[in-house]
Amino acid sequence: MAVNGTTDKTTANVIELAYVNGKVWQENASDLWWGKTSPTAAWSPNAGSATSPLPAATTPTPTPTPTPPPPTSGTRDPSQIPFASNSIFNLPLGTGAQWISNAQLSSANVYVNTTISGWNENIYTSSASDPLVTITDTGAVDGTPQTFHVHIPVGAVPASGTDNTFSVDDTSTHTWYSFGAFQWTGTNTATVSTGSGESDYGSGLAVASSNWDEGVGTLRESDLQAGSINHMLRMELPTDMLMSYTNSVNQLAPYAWPQTQEDGFAINGNGGPPYTGTIPYGVTIGIPDTAIEPADVAANAGANMLWHALQNHGAMVRDSGGSGDTVIFQADQTVNGNDPLILGMNQFGAEIMAQTKILGNQGPNSVNGGGTPVVPLDPAPSDVPASVTTPTPAALTTNGTVLLAGANAAINDASGNTWTITSSGQVAINGVTDNSTSGVTELAYVNGEVWQENASNLWWGKTSPGGSWSPINGTSASPLPGTGSITQSQTGTTVSVSQVTVDLPASSKMLFVSGTGDTVNVSGGGQSVTDTGSGNTYVIPAAGHGADTFGSDVLKAGDTLDLRTALAATNWNGAASTLASYLSVTNSGQAAVLSIAPTAGGAGVAIATLNGASGTTLSGLLAHALT
């Protein structure tokens, strides 16, 4: 380490510096920290400390998420820049940002991947007139076998290279889809190993913390045409620049939120080179708003675009790739690698990267650093229905909610903390895994307390992230109201408790409900439901995920179909007088089939089948529905 250009020979193997509350800290390769407040002071403690001084992991009161005036409505094309204006991928960096210097990052070069390198991203826009393709996700990588039905333009192909990434914004359903290992198997069929699909005007985090979104943040030709990049950039780093923050590929740095998954070979090298660098996977990087743009960078149009993109919106490490000391930004297939703007970014990349730092307080309660955005928000997506408002993150979870392992949902407590279950079966609080937990099968939120149940059917609860789980040895007594239970097995999920809200994982295709007054989020679609209870509510997901099949006429049992999520994915304006233009009921044998169209009078897609309900009319069904 050097102070004012003079090497401090008492230091060695320094991998990062941090400036926290007026004190400079150094960390060495053994993950030990020393700090001091002036050049002549002694480093302390003498033996170093394993406790990081960084505030992101320990700050009890995070900087608030920016709350600027609402953006201009309805002028942004979501097929080019998807998701809400306050999505992490579009929200500007905030004045509350806390930055960490990193020598590897600040000494890196830049290369923009285009079709010249063959490692670009292929992204398409489709409409209802394009062929409807059935895409089978094998779950080989994302762990969630599922089926998608997506409109894809004729001639669309995945990106070259071994990843075969493929993204498409289906404007007929307002859904942003992203896939990995995409392979055509027929004219209207394909297979993938990872897949996600969510509202193109939503948060961008609705599916697996956005781990599998291959397209978001890509540099688009439309960005170059506009002369500015008004979104976070997708960034890749070589494995010799990346670092695994822990000994688990599912436990990233606390400030790598929202991502929860790094390369499977990151630690053991099985399938690829292990990480050997100093930059934690998944972090956000940017240029502090106090940095002054060099004159030669400002004079070059491409370099100037990249500088302001990193200073205004930053970039997120989304994948590994390349070699040496070069960071990579991904472009789509329409970007010309010889465009002077791209050449300028590459030419002045090292000078730009010299000013970059790691965002040390990225998190759900301080999105992009918190504070006031350094530039105004983007306009809202042009396809947001009038009945849908800009999403507000971390809405308070309803009392009695149960979150099953594998569900794409979270419990948000009254203090704004987010509780989830990781893919390894542990509780994560605000994106940080609680290593005292294991084998977790469900979370429950009861009377302000979060409870976890493990595979041995024992429960522990606590009221705050810093509290202790109790009782020490767990209890077999369920905290849920009334009697009954919620169990998962290979045959499906059984809900025998009453007056609870249950978030089902997409993998739970068989559902047995005997409780009363329950609310069940069948978010994965394609579930088979056997209901012997009464007065239950089923939240039906957007079209495109398969139809939920009910074994009996649940409407006669006083059950309710909540269609608000499905309707939000259409362009319905909320007027009851036009509802029949979007919803329809047809008879098939002894069953009634409910279908929904993305546009008024458009082709309907089945979202629910009610066996034993032949003869049901739309008005009869809507009498038992929430719209």
Q: Which residue type occupies 596?
A: I
In this predicted model, what pLDDT tens digit does every residue of 305-359 receive, in sequence order? 999 999 999 999 999 998 899 999 999 999 999 999 999 999 999 999 999 999 9
In terms of domains, do 230 and 196 share one?
A: no
Tell me what pLDDT residue 238 has: 95
Q: What is the mean pLDDT of residues 246-258?
A: 88
Do residues 139 and 267 share a domain?
A: no
What are residue 221's phi and psi, to 5 degrees?
-60, -30
Tokens in use for 604?
């309907």
Full-model pTM: 0.56
Phi/psi zone of residue 347: left (φ > 0), alpha (ψ -120 to 50 degrees), beta? alpha
Q: Which pLDDT belongs to residue 391?
A: 41
Say yes or no to pLDDT of 433 above 60: yes
Quote the percentage of the chain above a pLDDT of 90: 37
| pLDDT above 50 for 558 | yes
- Residue 155, in any domain of the structure: yes
Q: What percent of the chain has pLDDT over 70?
A: 90
Angle at 171 between CA 170 and CA 176, to 5 degrees: 45
247 domain-assigned = yes
Residues 137 and 31 in one domain: no
Q: Identify the DSSP state of 462.
A: E
d(CA 343, CA 365): 37
The more confident residue out of 618 and 406 is: 618
**Model confidence band, residue 506 (pLDDT cutoffs 50, 70, 90):** low
pLDDT score recorded for residue 479: 84
Q: Looking at the structure, tell me whether residues 282 and 163 fall in a common domain.
A: no
d(CA 123, CA 179): 10
Pair 346, 434 in one domain = no
Residue 386 lies in a domain: no
Reduce the DSSP state of residue 321 to 3 states and report it: coil
- Residue 424 included in any domain: yes
214: buried, middle or exposed (CB in 10 Å: 19+, 13-18, 0-12)? buried
Residue 318 included in any domain: yes
Instruction: Indicate whether 344 and 481 sit together in one domain.
Output: no
> pLDDT confidence of 261, banded at 50, 70, 90?
confident
Token pair recorded at residue 57: 């992991």
Higher pLDDT, 379 or 386: 379
Q: How far is 489 from 479, CA to CA, in rounded Å?
A: 21
pLDDT value for 540: 85
Mean pLDDT over residues 149-154, rounded? 95
Q: Range of 41's domain?
A: 2-53
Instruction: Extract long-range pairs of 339-344: CB within 8 Å, 24+ residues apart.
Output: 339/224, 339/302, 340/301, 340/302, 341/224, 341/301, 341/302, 341/305, 342/112, 342/114, 342/224, 342/302, 343/302, 344/300, 344/301, 344/302, 344/303, 344/304, 344/305, 344/306
Is 224 a domain residue? Answer: yes
* Token pair recorded at residue 216: 């978001």
Q: Which of 3-12, 304-313, 545-554 has the highest mean pLDDT?
A: 304-313
Domain boundary residue, one of 184, 210, 236: 210
Assigned domain for 206 exists: yes
Instruction: Tell me which DSSP letter residue 351 carries.
Output: H
Local confidence band at 396 (pLDDT 50, 70, 90 cut-offs) = low
Whether pLDDT at 150 is above 90: yes
> What integer best gives the mean pLDDT of the chain?
85
Could you say which DSSP state residue 255 is in?
A: G
Query: What pLDDT, on a 0 to 100 scale, did the predictor assign at position 122?
Result: 95
Read off the amino acid at residue 504: L
Examine the domain organization and report whether 365 and 415 are in the same domain: no
- Kindly tell me if the per-residue pLDDT of 390 is higher than 50: no
Tell me: do 413 and 539 sit in the same domain: yes
Q: Span 65-74, mean pLDDT?
A: 47
pLDDT at 477 over 90: no
Running DSSP on this structure, what letter comes out for residue 153? -
One domain, residues 134 and 38: no
Please compute the mean of the pLDDT values over residues 555-583 and round it to a whole number.
Answer: 86
pLDDT of 68: 45
- Asked which of 103-107, 199-203, 525-529, 595-599 is least confident by mean pLDDT, the reply is 525-529
Task: Judge if 599 and 452 occupy the same domain.
Answer: yes
Buried b / exposed e over 32-42, threshold 16 CB at 10 Å, is ebbbbeeeeee
Residues 337, 436: one domain?
no
193 and 180 in contact (C-beta within 8 Å)? Answer: yes
Distance CA 377, CA 86 (A): 7
C-alpha span between 102 and 285 (Å, rounded): 10
Work out the pLDDT band at 485, boundaries 50, 70, 90.
low
Q: What is the C-alpha to C-alpha distance for residues 124 and 133, in angstroms, rounded to an integer? A: 14
Judge whether residue 550 has pLDDT over 70: yes
The residues pairing with 35 across neighbouring beta strands, listed in sequence order, are 25, 44
- Residues 204-229, mean pLDDT to the nearest whole number: 89
**For the ranges 253-257, 263-267, 522-526, 597-601, which has the lowest average pLDDT?**
522-526
Same domain membership, residue 262 and residue 329 = yes
- Provide the domain count of the chain: 4
What is the structure's pLDDT at 441? 85
Please give the structure tokens belonging to residue 606. 């089945």
Is 514 inside a domain boundary?
Answer: yes
